[in-house]
Each structure stands twice: as structure tokens, then as C-alpha cells.
Structure 1
């Protein structure tokens, strides 16, 4: 199944409290459960004003559906073409 990186512009997201991240995560997981196993959230990276979320899904439209149902922005959705790390240099 394809992997995607979703960029979400959320002003001040890096300043949220742990309890706020918990609520956001619970909302996302609830919608994912409703949508079924074809879409999975792997992890997210939080910066000052953006999150970068990694998902597995059949297509970008499924990710947009999750964003809409969750109430989260999905400003950019990019398909992952390759994954590299320091061992790639060996």
C-alpha cells in the first residue's frame, strides 16, 4: 500500500499541551477506526506551525476524506517514492 506525507498548516501547533495532542490523536484514531484498515496513521512530526504526518493509504483521496471527517487541514499530500537513510550509503 502506498505511503504518504501530509503537511498540515496549524498556527501555533508546536505550543499545544500534551492533553491537546491527546485529544487530537483520539479524534484522528476514531475517524480511522470508522474508515477501516485501508488507511493507517504511522506517525507525525510537529514543528512550530505545521505537522508532517505519515500515512499508509490506497490513494490521496482517502487521506483527504480522513482530513475532512477529522476537521484537520491537509495542505499538501505527497506520495513517498523511496525511503533512504544512512545505511543507503553503504
Structure 2
């Protein structure tokens, strides 16, 4: 299934309390459960005024539907072309 990076511009995101982040996460989980199709929230990173999310879904439209239902922005949705890491640079 395709993997997407979602950029959510949320002013003050890095200042959200743990309770606020828990509430947002719980709402996202509820929406994922109700989508009626395969969808996986892998992880999110909160940095400054942006939340960067990594999700698996069949297409960007499904990502938009999740965001709209959650009441979250999805300012930029980009499909991941490749995943690399330190091990990518090692010789076999």
C-alpha cells in the first residue's frame, strides 16, 4: 500500500499539551477505524507549527477524507517514492 507524508500546518503545534495531543490522536484513531478501508497511521512528528504524519492509504483522496473527518488540515500530501536509511549506504 502506498505511504504518504502529510504536512499539517497548525500554529502552535509544538506547544500542544500531552492531553491535547492525546485527544487529537484518539480522534484520528476513531476516524481510521470508521473509514471502512485499509488505512494505517504509522507515526507523526510535531515540529514548530507543523505536524508531519506518515500514513499508509490507497490514495491521497483517502488521506484527505481522513483529515476532513478529523477536522485537521492536510496542507500537503506527498506519496513516498523510496525509503532509505543508514543501511542503504552499506555494501552488501
Q: TM-score range by the shorter chain?
A: over 0.9
- Per-residue CA deviation, residues 4-46 of structure 1 (Å, 9 max, x unaligned), is 0000000001001100000000010001000034111000000
**TM-score normalised by the chain length of structure 2:** 0.95
Unmatched 5+ stretches in structure 1: none
The equivalent of 1:27 in structure 2 is: 27
Give 3-state SS (helix, strand or coil) of 2:82's partner: coil
**TM-score normalised by the chain length of structure 1:** 0.97
Mapping of residues 32-51 of structure 1, within 5 Å:
32-51=32-51
Give 3-state SS (helix, strand or coil) of 1:6's partner: strand
Unmatched 5+ stretches in structure 2: none
Counterparts of 2:14 and 2:73 in 1: how far apart (Å)? 16
Q: How many residues align?
A: 90
The equivalent of 1:63 in structure 2 is: 63
